């Protein structure tokens, strides 16, 4: 059974810091991996989708990497801003389903 | 493109009543729609997968008679919570995809509160 874990569970950093969020999964036979952002009480915003044949994707200040063999993905956020405060979820496409990680709650303070 | 809507965005109901939540794909045809539930400070848990014109496939532990899913068209799926109880209070999110090779696009969610 696929299990997706995110570390750390919560993170509080000052504005301007570069930070790394970690995601690990137990079954490396995944199709794609996707990172989402969720603001309190809101739905999901897709950030980056990495296909299984890719090793990384970049969008603005965000960079996501994927290492299927080790069952890991990282989301790198450069020059963090207070507006980045949210919960970040990684999810893996495993056969026909999307399995979500436990999430990292990020707070960036001015 | 790839917009998914949900209605209502929030609903409050009395215990014992039934509540229907709609999920629509606005600009694409969705052969498959998914329903997730999210409790406070927890991640999303898949409840069921529905394919247009077929019966939904429920995840282990999800009561199919309590959570009725109808995927009658390629743009609409409904989730009906029957005889709702306070423990059914949660955030319900749907997603939709064009085919098995495409990514899922998520709706904004529906907050259900059962008194």
DSSP assignment of A12-43: EEETT--EEEEEEES----SEEEEEEE-TT--
| pLDDT at residue B53, rounded to an integer | 83
- Contact (CB, 8 A) for B35 and B44: no
Using one digit for the tens of pLDDT, what is the confidence trace for A35-46? 999 999 899 999
Residue of B7, B103, B109 best to disrupt the A interface, most CBs of A under 10 A: B103
Q: Considering chain A, what is the average pLDDT of its residues?
A: 94
- Model confidence band, residue B1 (pLDDT cutoffs 50, 70, 90): low
Using one digit for the tens of pLDDT, what is the confidence trace for B29-84? 999 999 999 998 889 999 999 988 888 999 999 999 999 999 989 999 999 999 99
Minimal CA separation from A101 to chain B, in Å: 7
Chain A residues with a Cβ under 8 Å from any Cβ in chain B: 32, 34, 36, 41-44, 46, 49, 89, 91, 93, 96-103
Q: How many residues does chain B have?
A: 115
Q: Give how far the C-alpha of residue A52 lies from the chain's centroid of Cα atoms, to the nearest Å.
A: 15
Instruction: Classify B40 as helix, strand or coil.
Output: coil
DSSP conformation class of A9: S
- Between CA B39 and CA A51 the distance in angstroms is 29
| pLDDT at residue B2, rounded to an integer | 86
């Amino acid at each position: 059974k696929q299990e997706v874990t995110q570390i750390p569970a919560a993170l509080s950093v000052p504005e301007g810091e570069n930070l790394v969020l970690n995601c690990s999964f137990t079954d490396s036979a995944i199709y794609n991996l996707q990172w989402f952002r969720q603001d309190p009480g809101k739905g999901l915003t897709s950030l980056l989708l990495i296909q299984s044949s890719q090793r990384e994707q970049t969008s603005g200040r965000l960079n996501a990497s994927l290492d299927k063999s080790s069952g890991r993905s990282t989301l790198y956020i450069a020059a963090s801003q207070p507006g980045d405060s949210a919960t970040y979820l990684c999810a893996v496409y495993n056969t026909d389903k999307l399995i979500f990680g436990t999430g990292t709650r990020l707070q960036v303070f001015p | 493109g790839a917009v998914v809507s949900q209605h209502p965005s929030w609903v409050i109901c009395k215990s014992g009543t039934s509540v229907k939540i709609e999920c629509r794909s606005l600009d694409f045809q969705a052969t498959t729609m998914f329903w997730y539930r999210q409790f406070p400070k927890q991640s999303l848990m898949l409840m069921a997968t529905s394919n247009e014109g077929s019966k939904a496939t429920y995840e282990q532990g999800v009561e199919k008679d309590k959570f009725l899913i109808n995927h009658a068209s390629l743009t609409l799926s409904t989730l009906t919570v029957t005889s709702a109880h306070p423990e059914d209070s949660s955030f319900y999110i749907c997603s939709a995809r064009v085919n098995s090779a495409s990514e899922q696009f998520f709706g904004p969610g529906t907050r259900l509160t059962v008194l």
